[in-house]
Amino acid sequence: LEKMRVPVPLCVLACLCAAAGPVAGADRSCTDLRQFYTSKGFTLSGVPQTEISGEHLRMCPQGPTCCTSTMEENLATLSGRETEGLIREAGRSLQAAFNALHRSFDTYFTELHSHSERSLQDTLSPLGPLYSQNTRLFGGLYTDLRQYYRGSALNLDETLSEFWSRLLERTFKFSAPTDVNLSEDYLECVAKQQTTLRPFGDIPRDMRTKVIRAFVTARSFVQGLIVSADVVRKVSQVSLSPECVKALMKLVYCPHCRGIASVKPCSSYCSNVMKGCLANQADLDPEWQNLIDTMIQVASSFSTDPSLDVVLSSIPAQIFEAIHFLKENMDTFTAKVYQICGSPGETGTESPTRHEQKGKSGFLTASEYKPSPTAGIRLEMVSNLSSKLREMRQYWTQLSVALCSKMAAAGANQNNCWNGITKSRYLPEVMGDGLANQINNPEVELDITKPDMTIRQQIMQLKIMSNRLKSALDGNDVDFQDASDDISGSGSGMCAGGQC
């Protein structure tokens, strides 16, 4: 017995060593994952205390894990929901940028329009009663122009022609001898000579070309901003595919299940997942860039001679010049009218016309008319519009980059990042953008023969809007009444009453 006795210190050490064996070999604790899981709003029901075998996992790599099948499904749903939230957040930011551009341009344009309308009285008051007794006619022109800009189905060419016909009628009547009886039918015959006899010279034709181009481009530009924002809104709400959700789970939350939550995904790995998830969205890129480039062209046209502010500001002066031209040539015009419409009924002998002023005292020509004092503002506005639009140009191909910048490891950590299996370098090559380039994507399974139809419809809307803007650049009127059909009931119509 004496020989078998062991010194007490050695005995204690032996006991400690024996006790340490099971502790060192035990499964790791799931405390960190349990805390993380509850922080995401889930209950701890069924969550293991220590690691379990991972043969049940369907999205994460199989191996020792703290995640059950239910946890894997819950976290997969969460990863999809969170990513969709990031996409919608980015979309809302872009929509806000379009809305800001819309407000900026709309404020600029409506102020130009109002400034021109306010200058009517100063410019036309030398006409005396001819102006004061026909203010509704002149003001009506501006009302029609404003309604057209706001999206009314007015035909701008017909609106301007009608204005000049009515102005000819009123001017002829006002200049006629007091004892000449001009019936409504006779005045209507006079009004019809506006096109054939050109009583106002070349001014109506010149003003028509410039005003129509200005208002068509302004209206189509505003419509382009609205349609662009609406496309972003619709595409940003497209749900992610089940295959994408599985890939996102593997990318974002499988490291937590593996017990390496602090390891961020490799950037190339994240890129392949996002390029697969956003393949349909990236297919917007060609038509999106085409639309943005066309809108930049339209914005630049606002500064092209004659610029937008000069066109609007010169409307009163051109009307004044046209009336003056007619009055100076009234005798010749009247003789031609008598030949076409016959002599009007007379109540007595002819007396002198009411206004025989032939001189040019106080006469202001359109060429002498000073542009509005907004040239500097115009240049700043156009520059700001163009620069902001350029920033949006590559949005759909840069979206995956933007999302991965929030999720993936920084560039220096590409050898010690989550590659979908373990903490190591990610070796597969990064796919290109768009659905066709995902045929060999190792992370997201996609049927490239089945594009998302919602996104395809929005690609068509971009194409339609680009064509409208190009037509506007050529000065061709655009029938926006049909736009509601093209835009598939998007509700993205023009602003009404200044409210968008």
How far, rounded to the nearest angstrom, does the alpha carbon of residue 210 sit from its chain's CA centroid? 26
What is the DSSP code (8-state) at residue 187?
H
pLDDT value of position 375: 59
Whether residue 164 lies inside any domain: the answer is yes
What is the DSSP code (8-state) at residue 424?
E
Rounded Cα distance, 423 and 442, in Å: 18
HSE of 127, CA atoms in CB hemisphere, 13 A? 30
Domains in the chain, number: 1
Whether residue 388 lies inside any domain: the answer is yes
Rounded Cα distance, 405 and 399, in Å: 10
Classify strands 417-418 and 423-424 as parallel, antiparallel or unpaired.
antiparallel
Rounded Cα distance, 228 and 98, in Å: 8
The number of helix segments (H) and strand segments (E) in the chain equals 21, 4
Whether residue 133 lies inside any domain: the answer is yes
Whether residue 35 lies inside any domain: the answer is no
Alpha helices, H only, 237-284 = 242-252, 254-258, 267-277, 279-282
Handedness of CA 405, 406, 408, 412 (dihedral sign): positive
Structure tokens at 335: 């003789």
pLDDT value of position 173: 86
Q: Residue 169 is part of which domain span?
A: 75-342+376-477
Instruction: Residue 218: name the closest of 372, 115, 108 by CA.
Output: 108
pLDDT value of position 179: 67
For residue 1, the one-letter residue type is: L
Rounded Cα distance, 206 and 202, in Å: 6
Rounded Cα distance, 334 and 332, in Å: 6
Say how many Å lie between the first and final Cα of the chain, rounded: 100
Whether residue 355 lies inside any domain: the answer is no
pLDDT in tens, the chain (500 residues): 344 444 434 333 333 333 333 333 356 899 999 999 999 999 999 999 999 998 999 999 999 999 999 999 999 999 999 999 999 999 999 999 999 999 999 999 999 999 999 999 899 999 999 999 999 999 999 999 999 999 998 999 999 999 999 999 899 888 877 767 788 888 889 988 888 899 999 999 999 999 999 999 999 999 999 999 999 999 999 999 999 999 999 999 999 999 999 999 999 999 999 999 999 999 999 999 999 999 999 999 998 888 899 999 999 999 999 999 999 999 999 899 888 888 876 433 333 344 444 333 344 444 444 555 555 677 787 888 999 999 999 999 999 999 999 898 877 778 899 999 999 999 999 999 999 999 999 999 999 999 999 999 999 999 999 999 999 988 887 664 444 334 333 333 334 333 43
Contact 28, 63 (CB under 8 A): no
pLDDT value of position 176: 78
Rounded Cα distance, 246 and 53, in Å: 20
Instruction: Residue 291: name the closest of 227, 354, 202 by CA.
Output: 227
Whether residue 284 lies inside any domain: the answer is yes
Q: How far is CA 91 from CA 168, 239, 274, 277, 395, in A?
A: 53, 14, 16, 16, 10
pLDDT value of position 500: 36
pLDDT value of position 342: 85
What residues contact 292, with CB distance under 8 A and at least 6 apart? 228, 389, 390, 392, 393
Whether residue 116 lies inside any domain: the answer is yes
Whether residue 17 lies inside any domain: the answer is no
Rounded Cα distance, 429 and 127, in Å: 77
